[in-house]
Amino acid sequence: MTKTWTDWLRSRLTWVLAGVVLGGIVHIASVLMVPIVATNDPYGVVGRFGDDQQFNLIPRSTARDEALPMFDPNMVHAVCRYDLADRPLRIEVSLPAPYWSMSLYTVGGLSFYSINNRAAERLSVDLRLFTSLQLTLFNEAPVAESEQLVLVESPDSAGFVILRAYVRDAEDEAAVHAALNETGCAGFELPERVPAHREPVEPIPPPKPQ
The 10s digit of each residue's pLDDT in 182-202 is 899 999 998 876 555 556 656
* Other beta carbons within 10 Å of 122: 12
In this predicted structure, what is the pLDDT of residue 9? 58
Give the global pTM. Answer: 0.70
54/197: higher pLDDT: 54
Q: Residue 36 pLDDT more than 60? A: no
Average pLDDT of the residues in 134-143: 87
In this predicted structure, what is the pLDDT of residue 57? 93
In this predicted structure, what is the pLDDT of residue 148? 84
73/46: higher pLDDT: 46
What is the chain's length? 210
Rounded CA-CA distance 182/150 in Å is: 19
Q: Residue 91 pLDDT more than 70? A: yes
Q: Name the amino acid, one letter, at 208.
A: K
| % of the chain with per-residue pLDDT over 90 | 53
Query: Is residue 102 within 8 Å of 116, Cβ to Cβ?
Result: yes
Query: Is residue 165 within 8 Å of 76, Cβ to Cβ?
Result: yes
In this predicted structure, what is the pLDDT of residue 32? 38
Q: Which residues contact 74 (CB under 8 A, 6 or more apart)?
A: 166, 167
Query: Is residue 161 within 8 Å of 92, Cβ to Cβ?
Result: no
Query: Is residue 109 within 8 Å of 45, Cβ to Cβ?
Result: no
- Please give the domain boundaries of the chain with CATH numbers for all domains: 44-187 (2.60.40.1610)
pLDDT-derived band at 122 (thresholds 50, 70, 90) equals confident
